[in-house]
A and B are shown apart, each in its own frame.
Chain A
Amino acid sequence: MSSEWLDIQNFVSDQEALRAINDLTIATHLSMAQVPDDDRVNKAEQARKYLRRFLSELDHVLQARRDEAVAPGVDPRMQELAESFELARRDTSHERSILLKTGPADAMNLLDASDPPAKRELLRSMDELRELITQHQQANTSAILEDF
């Protein structure tokens, strides 16, 4: 596959994660504001399933990279994302969410948050995850779309 199509493939994979983050974020904000929206509730449920798998895979790759410099059997996109995650964790310049403070496994426990403080923590973790993936995605997008 040419590098351009590889960038498209990575873009699509990142986009799937971003969609789940956004769907859960919007549904959580609506629920906190007590705005009813059944479609958003359904989308949030699908997003939770996706994010559970995604965070579990990220956690697995991060653990493997603690033993070795690279995690074998993992595609380069996930390796790069894990590397970005490790770099972000080392950045102590601002207050971080549970996701970056204690890792993806603890962030997974927030996905079903029901009380307002847990929901706020979930939103902070989702914001940081969106930021990480968006930065990762920008390199791919600029290679395939930003021609002018």
Chain B
Amino acid sequence: MRRMLEDSNLDLVRQSRLLIDLIDQALSAPLLAPYRQRVRDLCAQMAADAQRNLDDLKHDLPSTFEAILSNTQAVASYLDIVGSRFTGPILRGRVDDDVMLAVLQWLHSTHAMTKSHPFAFGDGGFSVYHDLKFPTIYFLPASRQLTLLYVPLFFHEYGHVLYRFHKPEMDDLVKEFQQVVSAHAAPATIRERGTGGQDDDFRAKLVLAWYPWAQEFFCDAIGLTIGGAAYLQAFSHYLRLRSKEQYYRPRKAQLESRHPVTLLRVRMLADRARKLGLTSLADSVESAWISCAKLMRITEDYEGTWSDDFLVPLRKTLDDMIEEANPVTSEMLRPTVAASPVHLCNAAWEEFERSQANYAAWETQMVGQIRRNIASGDPWVTAATSG
């Protein structure tokens, strides 16, 4: 057994060092440097862990072999994960990654907790991998990496990162809301309670489902808080024609999903947007979604997973969560002279609404401007004010 464990760990040390060599040889954007260093450090840690296993084996104590095997398996799995998932943004680096990296750098710089947290982006549907032990990776479709209209969807993903940084406080707030859901779904009479029947099962599943759902509503609220009108526009345009599932899902499918039905998210977003003074846009977005629902012959029905009684407590929960996370807000940004991706995204949507025919040319010009400005250290100043 000792020999097998030694062989495996010697191989793991070598594989970790090869990954470090690949990272060192890769040509990637300067803005990726902190991410690159963090992934390199992870590889060095894996090499050190495998070496530690080899040192443990030198004691030749068979009673420790089970734990050393478990540690060996851990290094092997980490190596697979880092090699296949985290080196991609470094090894696939392209010169035009700089625009999205500049957006993410700005976003992370807006909050004390994230400003030194490394990040990268990769190809995929809009999403984020967030874990405090690893650098954060944002994903977006390859064709969206050179455009501006859907950049605000990053603000939602950034919400997940903020949640992670404030997890204990956020979990407490979500817990309070889950208790509201639990009380609402509780059987009405003592006789009905504790029967272990379908109602109890639904109630338990509903309370569980609201844990990730509350986080999604929070991330939407973060998106709107940071991006303002541009976030609502991007969210609505990106999802409204996607599929019937955005409007209706059977109860079982809802309870198994980490996301609430999108139409309900639109309702909550519109509610918050009105509070921010975006009444006309909120009305127009809701109206567009209802028109689409009618065209698809869908009646708004959340199959018991939502009650209007939840509206006020959910509003309050989201307000408290936003206060706890304390993100930069579009209102805070507006009166300042410092330009930002938020200005640019809002200008992009205004331009898109003004003239869709001319939009592509406008956007190409803006992206070119940002790229030229990146070298000067302030990517947004001219681009944003030009909008």
Contacts and interface: CB of A to CB of B under 8 A. Distances in A.
Interface of A: 1-2, 5-6, 8-9, 11-12, 15-16, 18-19, 21-22, 25-26, 29-30, 33, 35, 37, 39-40, 68-70, 72-76, 79, 127, 130, 134, 141, 144-145
B212 interface: yes
Given A69-B204, A72-B182, A79-B208, A30 B131 contact: no
Contact of A26 (B67, B74, B160, B179): B67
B131 A2 contact: no
A74 B212 CA distance: 10
A84 to B, nearest CB: 15
A40 B131 CA distance: 27
A2 B207 contact: no
Interface of B: 52, 55-56, 59, 61, 63-64, 66-68, 70-71, 74, 77-78, 80-81, 85, 124-125, 127-131, 133-134, 139, 160, 171-172, 174-176, 178-179, 182, 200, 203-204, 207-208, 211-212, 258
A29 B207 contact: no
Nearest to A8: B81
Contact of A15 (B78, B182, B258): B78
Interface SS of B by simple majority:
helix
21 contacts: A1-B128, A2-B124, A5-B127, A12-B134, A15-B74, A15-B78, A18-B70, A22-B70, A25-B64, A29-B61, A33-B61, A33-B63, A39-B55, A40-B56, A72-B174, A72-B207, A73-B176, A74-B175, A75-B171, A76-B211, A144-B81
A5 B136 CA distance: 11
A12 B131 contact: yes
A116 B167 CA distance: 39
A117 to B, nearest CB: 16
A134 B70 contact: yes
Given A12-B134, A26-B56, A35-B59, A1 B174 contact: no
